[in-house]
Structures are given as C-alpha cells and as structure tokens.
Amino acid sequence: MGSDVNKVILEIRAGTGGEEASLFAGDLARMYQKYAGRRGWQFTILDFSVSSVRGYKTFIVEIGGEGVYEALRHESGVHRVQRIPETERAGRVHTSTASVAILPEIEPKQLEIKPQDLELTLFRSGGPGGQNVNKVETAVRIRHIPTGIVVASQNERSQARNRELATNLLRAKLYEIQREAEAKKLGSMRKEQIGSAERAEKIRTYNFPEDRITDHRIGKKFSNIGKILEGDLDKIIQMFAKEAK
C-alpha cells in the first residue's frame, strides 16, 4: 500500500478494563480528532457505540487529507493506559487497553463488491447518551453475506451518503482480510513487507502517574501526556518517519 493514500478508516475499540477502557477509547478518539483538525484533514464519524460512562465501546471514522495514511499507519495496534480511574475510590492504578486499526480506503475498481452479497438495513441514528438524533431512518447497516462482516454509517443526514460511507468501510475491511490471507500464504518475511499490522500487539503505553508515553516498537519515551492527548502527536509521528528512512 503506497504512502500516497489520502483516505483511511480509523477504528477504535475498547479492550480490557471495563468502563475505564471505554473512557480511554474516548480519549484516543478525541486525540485523533484534534490531530486531524491541526492537519486540516476531514474527520467524518461513521459509527459509534457509547458506554454508560460516556466513553466509547467502538468509534469508527473516515479521515481524509494529504498524507493521512503515511502519518497514521503506525497507530494500528493495542494502546495501553495506566492510571487511577475516576471511579476508583482507593486510588489504585488500573491498566486498561483500547485497540486502534488504520485501514486504507480502497477504490471501488480495486475491489468489487457484488450487490447480491449485501443485506441492507435502515435504522434511525442515535447520538451519544442515547438521544434520538434523526427522526427518519437514514442510518444504514450493511451485512456482507459471504463473510458475515457488519458495518454501519449513522452520522450523515442522507441515506445515500450513509450507504456510500458504509460501503467504503466494508471495502476497506474486505481488502484488509485479503491482504492478511495473502501475507499468510507468502510467509512472515513477505508479511513485514506488506505491512499487515498485528492488532493484538501492544504498541504503546500511556503511564499517567509518571506522565510518560512509551512506544514499545521504537523504544522511545515521550512526556506530557495531557498535551499529546490534546492532539499534539507530531513528535511521535515524526519519530516514525525518521525511523523509516
């Protein structure tokens, strides 16, 4: 996948750690949204699932802009947080995780999806906290019958636009499955060249008591977590660009 891809799907999922994991997923969602704002990228929320403490169980967006894949592709993997949760009375540090996936958006000509393979459902979109955002069924859920993959887009007011965005998301996921299958066939050495991200791999730890972020792949440490979570990701992303040279 070339570095000139200018649209990606960002998918964040709360991992281990219960409600605290969903709060951390929310922190990551805001961090990427603010970083996208700094870069002047488009940030279109496709689908989300809100937890009871107003965090995110899942958060899926399309990000568009120059150099977006090259900048964000190293964010794929498991992000781990160590901090005292707001709900923790005894003041103990908890460890929670959230997984991040960055999928390049694929042109329709690169991967054809047959209409007969799709099962379409329309529903009303709901906002954070469960309030009804839209009185009309403009949100779209698509199930890909051969694989069982289900995707949705519920944030746009137009049914046609939601269908387009959900189809883009499905195409990106199907392409990723193809790439992973190809990588397995060709062996582990080729897998590295293809660049299939190991999502189960812990890539970064956000240690709040010590105000330190450690990236385990390049062995670098960064201070000032608060600033980084406000979207100041440049120093981490530039460090990967240097390592790649």
Q: Which CATH number is 7-106+195-244's, of 3.30.950.10, 3.40.50.261, 1.20.1250.20, 3.30.70.1660?
A: 3.30.70.1660
Per-residue pLDDT of the chain (245 residues; tens, 9 = 90+): 445 678 999 999 999 998 999 999 999 999 999 999 999 999 999 999 998 888 999 999 999 999 999 999 999 999 999 999 877 778 899 999 999 999 998 888 888 899 999 999 998 876 544 444 555 678 999 999 999 999 999 887 889 999 999 999 999 999 988 888 877 776 654 444 434 444 457 899 999 999 999 999 889 999 999 999 999 999 999 988 877 66
- For residue 74 the two structure tokens come to 């190293």
- pTM (2 decimals)? 0.84
Find tokens 């010590």 and name the residue: 210
For 109-188, give the CATH class: alpha beta
Q: How far, rounded to the nearest angstrom, does the alpha carbon of residue 129 sit from its chain's CA centroid? A: 21
pLDDT, residue 195, reads 42
Question: Is the CB of residue 122 less than 8 Å from the CB of residue 142?
Answer: no
| Domain parsing of the chain, residue ranges | 7-106+195-244, 109-188
Question: Is the CB of residue 106 less than 8 Å from the CB of residue 169?
Answer: no
